[in-house]
Amino acid sequence: DLHDELGADLHALGLLSDLAQAAQSAPERLGDLLQRVRVLTERTGKAARHCTNLLEAEDLHGDLVADMRRTSERILADLEHQLEFEGEARLRQLNPRRRVDLLLFYQESLINIIRHSGATRVHTRLSAIDGQISLAVADNGRGLSGGVPASLKRRARLLRGEICAGATDSSSGTCIMLRLERRWFGLLP
């Protein structure tokens, strides 16, 4: 959220700056543009503080399954989406930092689908069984060119996980698979 909010606000600030430069000969317009820059700057600061406070909250991401449901509903609002979970009791035992990291990986996967795939359907499966946690996110979009996106590789590295991507069973679309060994994943006692 912080990434998206700041990105949009910084882009808007750049546009307003361009308009202000063009309006130097019209002082009445310049004052309005500078006021809009000020309001946007204050809003961006509040958004950054809000996101930082959320990350520091003790009870944030207490239920990974519920958080993933909310995230998919928000990001994939216009797409058909199916979620499957296996081993929910074990998922609740993940330490809070790992829950956040896994949720951020999931969010980044969905954002990539929305921005680049042209998909109409997404299927997610999160499993915590047999000493392993795995997350598969599949879509029916255009497919990947160039392999796993760098942003997902970085997040997988932070999780100490293995990531791979390939075509879905229907041969159109992409499936991103993240595998984590439980011993590295910080289960609570």
d(CA 159, CA 185) in angstroms, rounded, equals 7
The model's pLDDT over 57-91, given as tens digits with 9 standing for 90+, comes to: 555 556 889 989 988 998 888 899 999 999 998 88
d(CA 14, CA 116) in angstroms, rounded, equals 24
The model's pLDDT over 95-116, given as tens digits with 9 standing for 90+, comes to: 888 888 899 899 999 988 988 8
Give the distance, in angstroms, between the CA of residue 41 and the centroid of all CA atoms in the same chain.
Answer: 23
Contacts of 76 (CB under 8 A, 6+ apart): 110, 113, 114, 122
Q: What is the pTM of this model?
A: 0.68
Contact 175, 143 (CB under 8 A): no
Q: What angle do CA 133, 135, 143 make, to 5 degrees?
A: 150
The model's pLDDT over 156-171, given as tens digits with 9 standing for 90+, comes to: 998 889 999 887 666 6
Residue 2: its pLDDT value, please? 62
